[in-house]
Amino acid sequence: MHKLMVLYPEPADRAAFIDYYTSTHLPKVAKLPGLQSWSYALDVAGGPEGRAPYFAVFEAEFADAQSFAAAMASPEGQEVAQDVPNYASGGAITLDYSPTGSSAS
């Protein structure tokens, strides 16, 4: 299993982010070859103050690192990557990794 996590800092305009992200970006993500599952959360809470340093988080799962690399190198993957500046005015932090431990069976 290989995972992709994208952390989004606070955007300049939350409503514009949410609208574009849900209506335009996520349908592009859903077309990534080899994508097994994905999820996202908006208005992420955390810490004692109730606010996390990120506004939104996205997670995706692929069979392995090779499947992830192939997906991102594909035309669909290139389109997804190039689309990020269209909505993520606060930027995006992208992490990809293969978990080294899990409680899932």
Q: Give me the pLDDT at residue 46, please.
A: 72
Q: Which residue has the higher pLDDT, 46 or 10?
A: 10
Q: Give me the pLDDT at residue 83, please.
A: 98
| Average pLDDT for 24-36 | 98
Q: Give me the pLDDT at residue 101, please.
A: 84
Q: Give me the pLDDT at residue 9, please.
A: 93
On the question of pLDDT at 70 being above 70, the answer is: yes
On the question of pLDDT at 99 being above 60, the answer is: yes
Q: What is the pLDDT of residues 32-65, one digit of tens each?
A: 999 999 999 998 877 666 677 898 999 999 999 9
Residues linked to residue 2 through DSSP beta bridges, in sequence order: 62
Q: Give me the pLDDT at residue 39, please.
A: 97
Q: Give me the pLDDT at residue 96, please.
A: 95
Q: Give me the pLDDT at residue 64, please.
A: 96
